[in-house]
Amino acid sequence: MCGIVGYIGKRDATPILMEGLHRLEYRGYDSAGLAVARNEKLQVIKTKGKVRDLERILPERIKGMTGIAHTRWATHGEPSDRNAHPHTDTSERFAIVHNGIIENAASLRTKLEASGVTFRSETDSEVIAHLLAASPADTLEDSLRSVLRLVTGTYGIAVLDAQRPESIVIARNGSPVVIGIGDREMFVASDPAALVRHTQSVVHLDDGELAVVRADGYETSTLDGGATAKTPLTIPWTDESFDKGEFSHYMRKEIAEQPDAIRRTLSGRLEPRFQTTHIGGLEMAARELLEVKRIKILGCGSAYIAGSLGAHLIEQLARLPASAEPASEFRYRNPVIEQDTLYIAVSQSGETFDTLAAVQEVKRKGGRVLGIVNVVGSTIARECARGIYLHAGPEIAVVSTKTFTSTVVAFALLAVHLGRLKDLSTAQGARLLAALQALPDQVATILNQEARIATLAQRFARHENAYFVGRAAGFPIAMEGALKLKEISYLHAEAYPASELKHGPLALISPETPTVIVMPRDDLYAKNLSTIEEIRARSGPTFVITQPGDPLPMPVDAVIEVPKSEAVLDPLLLNIPLQLLAYHVALARGRNIDQPRNLAKSVTVE
Ligand code: F6R
């Protein structure tokens, strides 16, 4: 998705903007550009392609101490040099970078064209630059305010006036913008990743806010002009946490980081004295929690799948009815919001538009929402006000791996907490705490099997279609395995409950269609053995993810074993080989693993 970077201070802006753009590359984009103000003129360079393409065409002489920059992910108009941001007005006095969508751009464009303006791009964003030029207001902030009154839609926006380069003005409605506070210099970004090298002190704008950012300070206000008070937040990530280190891909690094990520998610939250867990951000007393009659979990993609496992954990340990639903659909079915239901929004980035919209729908109807989020201070975290931070560290690869695992751990913490308020015994609580503490080492032992999984991936990579099946909590793992594989290898992968296979998909089982069977040695093990027989009877290759025990009673194409945990935590471990499988299939197929085609790290548009 689009990214914004801005700098104002005493240093040369261009290298800082370029480095910020590099930091945003992980989000996915198709063009890049920057504008720097100097001697009352704008210098604007932009191009289709990658930030390194921009670097190649950057003239030596582009100097100045105030600038804005952008990575664009095309919505209105194809990826091209002229559609890349920044956009300027005709006289090239105002430069703007914009994330989001201006919904009434077409009618604004018609009016501007009627008044003699010639547009240079097909973007919705360019109207903002021309409207700024047409504004009679005295200050840049008042001009932007008047322009934003005319537009409908979503924006995170940064604006530069060549004639008044002593400030950058930014505004937000539905698309994040943060200010980074430096020492007599300030940074602006749509994602703190772009500025963490320079500062960890940030201020997040809220929807409907605007800020004037100068080298020595900033002022925030509402779009109507009323001042707002903001408290800077410290982001817990350092620049080093964004390095790829010895790994060739961020995804591989993040898979390897899982033992540490789990430790951090658990840190300070286990209470062995009472065989329970302590979740600081929950802010709900025991009595309030006991009044909860149902739990509804909302998230998109892998966050939704992790939520499905969360629902399973809560039902099993706390015996509370719990279910997960894709957040992207939630608001469209006019959901009934119940007072005795606790809603949980799951989002790694904390910026996913559909999840945020679901949270707002619940809140608008008077419901309570708790967030399970990785990025501290992100929009969903702030909107939920209470919740559980994952502390998994930044996830740069577009596909989620360590945050999926940490989300399941966070749900386990919550489920134990709720369970211990109810029927979960001290002995069961103690066993679960021990199992949670054992997870990091167990994940590490699975990662040691990488060479075997890589060999298996070579065989898998030859196929174009695959099924992933599982039962009960094994089914979300099948979903996650299939999602990961299709996202990065572009191999068509479908997940099915194993019990559903004979109700349709068996028609497609053949020697060309491998099936991955997720089968812990639980009560459903024998049923999964029957599933394998069904597949073998159609000569389908079978890849089994299971746990140590008696040899399988029939030949299969491969078996990967993971250590046993408490039954409710087994799915988390069964998922790890599937991450490695997806990674190595994508590697064998020569894919762009960290930035798969058509996908973005956080989907901040509808
Ligand atoms: C899958 C993946 C996506 C995200 C989804 C939600 O690998 O990464 O499906 O899980 O877009 O993202 P967050 O968790 O940031 O809300």
Q: Are 313 and 415 in contact (CB under 8 A)?
A: yes
On whether both 137 and 271 belong to a single domain, the answer is no
On whether both 379 and 462 belong to a single domain, the answer is no
On whether both 425 and 462 belong to a single domain, the answer is no
pLDDT of residue 417: 98
pLDDT of residue 172: 96
Q: What's the 597 CA to ligand 1 centre distance in angstroms?
A: 15
Q: What's the 206 CA to ligand 1 centre distance in angstroms?
A: 22
How far apart are the C-alpha atoms of 11 and 497, rounded to whole Å?
58
pLDDT over 90 (residue 279): yes
Q: What is the pLDDT of residues 9-66, one digit of tens each?
A: 999 999 999 999 999 988 778 899 999 999 999 999 999 999 999 999 998 888 899 9
Q: Are 387 and 372 in contact (CB under 8 A)?
A: yes
State whether the beta carbon of 348 lies less than 6 angstroms from ligand 1: yes
**CATH code for the domain in which residue 476 is found:** 3.40.50.10490
Q: What is the pLDDT of residues 256-271, one digit of tens each?
A: 999 999 999 999 999 9
| Token couple for 498 | 């194993």
Higher pLDDT: 117 or 506? It is 117
Q: What is the pLDDT of residues 519-530, one digit of tens each?
A: 999 999 999 999
**Three-state secondary structure of 401-465:** CHHHHHHHHHHHHHHHHHHHHCCCCHHHHHHHHHHHHHHHHHHHHHHCCHHHHHHHHHHHCCCCE
Sheet of 322-326: strand order equals 322-326, 294-299, 341-347, 368-373, 387-389
Neighbour tally for 448: CB within 10 Å = 8
State whether the beta carbon of 546 lies less than 6 angstroms from ligand 1: no
pLDDT of residue 8: 98
State whether the beta carbon of 121 lies less than 6 angstroms from ligand 1: no
State whether the beta carbon of 300 lies less than 6 angstroms from ligand 1: yes
On whether both 440 and 467 belong to a single domain, the answer is no
Q: Are 556 and 533 in contact (CB under 8 A)?
A: no
pLDDT over 90 (residue 575): yes
Predicted confidence band of residue 393 (pLDDT cuts 50, 70, 90): very high
Q: What is the pLDDT of residues 470-484, one digit of tens each?
A: 999 999 999 999 999
Domain membership flag for residue 531? yes
- What average pLDDT does the segment 345-349 reach? 97
The parent domain of residue 336 ranges over 244-446
Domain membership flag for residue 604? no
| Token couple for 514 | 């491998």
Nearest CA to ligand 1 atom 5: 301
Higher pLDDT: 225 or 606? It is 225
On whether both 131 and 12 belong to a single domain, the answer is yes
- What average pLDDT does the segment 511-534 reach? 96
How far apart are the C-alpha atoms of 243 and 264, rounded to whole Å?
19
State whether the beta carbon of 322 lies less than 6 angstroms from ligand 1: no
State whether the beta carbon of 355 lies less than 6 angstroms from ligand 1: yes
Displacement of CA 277 from its chain's centroid (Å): 26
Average pLDDT, the chain: 95
Nearest CA to ligand 1 atom 2: 399
pLDDT of residue 244: 87
State whether the beta carbon of 602 lies less than 6 angstroms from ligand 1: yes
Return the active site residues: 2, 601
Q: What's the 110 CA to ligand 1 centre distance in angstroms?
A: 37
Domain membership flag for residue 124? yes
Q: What is the pLDDT of residues 220-241, one digit of tens each?
A: 999 999 999 999 999 888 877 7
Domain membership flag for residue 603? no
User: What single letter denotes the amino acid at residue 382?
Assistant: R
Q: What share of the chain is helix, strand, coil (3-state, %, to 5)?
A: 40, 25, 40
Domain membership flag for residue 529? yes
Predicted confidence band of residue 385 (pLDDT cuts 50, 70, 90): confident
Q: What's the 360 CA to ligand 1 centre distance in angstroms?
A: 19
Predicted confidence band of residue 593 (pLDDT cuts 50, 70, 90): very high
On whether both 189 and 307 belong to a single domain, the answer is no
pLDDT over 90 (residue 285): yes
Q: Are 174 and 155 in contact (CB under 8 A)?
A: yes
State whether the beta carbon of 349 lies less than 6 angstroms from ligand 1: yes
Q: Which of 210, 240, 270 lies at the terminal end of a domain, its last residue?
A: 240
Q: What's the 305 CA to ligand 1 centre distance in angstroms?
A: 10
Q: What's the 477 CA to ligand 1 centre distance in angstroms?
A: 15
| Cis peptide bond prior to 394, omega within 30° of 0 | no
Domain membership flag for residue 601? no
Sheet of 155-161: strand order equals 87-88, 94-99, 155-161, 168-173, 209-214, 217-222, 227-228
Q: What's the 301 CA to ligand 1 centre distance in angstroms?
A: 5
Domain membership flag for residue 602? no
How far apart are the C-alpha atoms of 228 and 262, rounded to whole Å?
38
On whether both 346 and 419 belong to a single domain, the answer is yes
- What average pLDDT does the segment 314-340 reach? 96
| Distances 494 to 284, 458, 486, 498, 501 between C-alpha atoms, Å | 39, 19, 9, 12, 11
Q: Which of 388, 420, 446 lies at the terminal end of a domain, its last residue?
A: 446
State which ligand 1 atom lies nearest to the alpha carbon of 301: 9
Predicted confidence band of residue 404 (pLDDT cuts 50, 70, 90): very high
State whether the beta carbon of 352 lies less than 6 angstroms from ligand 1: yes
Name the residue of 308, 352, 400, 591 whose CB sits within 8 Å of the most ligand 1 atoms, as the mutation to test its pocket: 400
How far apart are the C-alpha atoms of 540 and 429, rounded to whole Å?
42
Name the residue of 329, 603, 605 whose CB sits within 8 Å of the most ligand 1 atoms, as the mutation to test its pocket: 603
Q: Which of 240, 259, 277 lies at the terminal end of a domain, its last residue?
A: 240
Nearest CA to ligand 1 atom 6: 300
On whether both 258 and 113 belong to a single domain, the answer is no
Domain membership flag for residue 600? no
**CATH code for the domain in which residue 73 is found:** 3.60.20.10
Nearest to 101 by CA among 149, 159, 156: 156
On whether both 20 and 163 belong to a single domain, the answer is yes
On whether both 76 and 121 belong to a single domain, the answer is yes
Residues 6+ apart with CB under 8 A from 590: none
On whether both 136 and 218 belong to a single domain, the answer is yes
pLDDT over 80 (residue 606): no
DSSP label at residue 519: -
pLDDT of residue 600: 76
Exposure on the CB side of residue 463, measured as CA atoms within 13 A: 23
Number of domains in the chain: 3
pTM of the predicted protein model: 0.89
Sign of the dihedral defined by the CA atoms of residues 337, 341, 342, 348, in that order = negative
On whether both 435 and 528 belong to a single domain, the answer is no
Q: Which helix (H) or strand (E) holds 383?
A: helix 379-384
Exposure on the CB side of residue 32, measured as CA atoms within 13 A: 25
